[in-house]
Amino acid sequence: MNILITNGRLIDQTGDRLASVRISDGIIVEVGDQLAPDSDSSRDERLIDAAGLVISPGFVDLHVHLREPGREEAETIETGSRGAALGGFTAVVAMPNTDPTQDSVGVVEFVRQQGKRAGLCDVYPSGSITMGRKGEQLTPFAELANAGVRLFTDDGNGVQDPQLMRRAYEYASDLGVTMAQHCEVESLTAGAVMHEGSCCSHLGLPGWPSLAEELMVHRDIELVRLTGAPAHFLHLSTAGSVALVRAAKADGLPVTAEATPHHISLTDELLASYSALYKVNPPLRTIEDVVAVREGLQDGTIDAIATDHAPHVSETKEMPLDQAPPGMLGLETALGVALAHLDMPLVDVVAAMSWKPAAIAGIADRHGRPIAPGEPANLTAFDPNETWEVVPAELASKSRNTPFIGVPLTGRVKHTILHGDIVVLDGKAQK
C-alpha cells in the first residue's frame, strides 16, 4: 500500500514539527512540507488528511494479557490485537500466564504465529522466569532467548526465592535479556483485597500493604547491583517504590520501570463501591501514591506507560470482591487516560508509550523509530484534544471489565499503520 499523510503534526524523538509523510512498500520514503500526491497514475496512493492530528511512532505496550492459549473465553490474540491497534499500539508484549505457560519454545512460537495471523499489531511473547510460573525451577533461558524472547517474567506472581532470582539475573547478564519483576512479597498479601490503609479499615476489607511491593523492589535493585544484569519493574504503584527506583537510577544501575494508566488515575477509595471492576494487582493506592507515580513519569524515573491489559469474562468480575480475579482492560483507553491525567509535555507522553518501551522490549530496531525516510512505517495518528467516553459494546475485547465507562477521556486514536498497512482508519479496525 502506498500512503500519503498530509498536514500532520509529527512528534518523535527528533522533535515536534508540521509535515507530510509518504509511505511505500512498508517504508517511509519521504517526509517534508506540503508533499504533493504521486504523479504516477499507475500507483494507487491512499491519501490521509491528518489536519489536527498528531503523527507519532506506533505505541508499544510492554504488558498485556492476551489469554490465549487457555483462556480464550476472555480474550484471544486476535481480539486483543484488534484492541491494541485501536489504541494506537503497533507492538505488544504478551505476558506468559497462559495455559500452558509460555515457558517453552513451542508455546512462545504459537503465540507469535497467532499474532502474525491476526495481522493487527506485532505480538512479542515474553517467557516465564520459572517453569509453570511456580517459582521453583528456572526456564531454559538460552533456548527461549534464541527463539527471540527478550523479556522474562512470572507476572501475576513475583519470584519469592531470592537465591533463585539471583541465578536468573546471572543468566540474564550472559544472554542479553531482561528480567521483568512483578514485585509482591506474597506472605504479606495473603487474602488481601485492596490497599492497606484507612480506606480498607473503614470498609472492613483485608489490606495489601505498600511494603509488599517495596520489599521486592529493594531486593531486586540489590540483586541488580550484585549481578550487573538489567531489571524492569512492572506496574509500580507506591510512592516508596518510585523513590527506590529513582535512587537506583541515580546510582547508575540498569533498571527501568513502568506504570499503568489506572495507577495514575484511580484511587483505593473507589473500592467503597465493592465493585470488582476496581480490583487489580497491585491494588489501587492512595492519592499520595498516584501523585508520586505521576511525578515518576514526569521526571523519567518511570520509563513507560504499560496497560497491564487484563480481560476477564463478566461472570468472574461479578463475583464477590474477595473471590473476583484482579485486572481491568487497558489497550483501547490508555492514551485517553494518560492525556486526561498527566501534566506532561505531549512529546514525553508519546515517549513513554512508544520509543522508551520499544527500547526496553528490545524491539527498537522496528518500533518507536524516528519518522524519517528509510524507517519502517509503524505509525499512530491521534487527536490529542478529543474528549470521549467508553461505549462497552464498541470495545474490541471479548471482555468488558473496564472502570472507565462514563469517565471523560482526552485524546483518541484515529489511524494506525502497521508495516505500511492501514489497520485502523478513522477509528475503525480494518480487519
Q: Where on the phi/psi map is residue 52: left (φ > 0), alpha (ψ -120 to 50), or beta?
A: left
Kindly name the residue from 161, 308, 343, 365 that is annotated as catalytic: 308
**HSE-CB of 20 using CA atoms within 13 angstroms:** 16
- Taking alpha carbons only, the member of 395, 391, 394 closest to residue 406 is 391
Question: What is the C-alpha separation between 102 and 96, in angstroms, rounded?
Answer: 5
- Point out which residues pair with 180 in neighbouring strands: 232
- Residue closest to 215 by CA, chosen among 282, 134, 130, 123: 282
Amino acid residing at 21 = V
Find cell 470488582 and name the residue. 276
Nearest to 384 by CA among 55, 91, 49: 55
- Which segments of 170-254 are extended strands (E)? 178-181, 194-195, 207-208, 231-233
CA dist 344 and 425 (Å) reads 27
Respond yes or no: is residue 251 known to be catalytic.
no
CA pair distance 53, 64, nearest whole angstrom: 26
Q: Which residues are catalytic?
A: 308
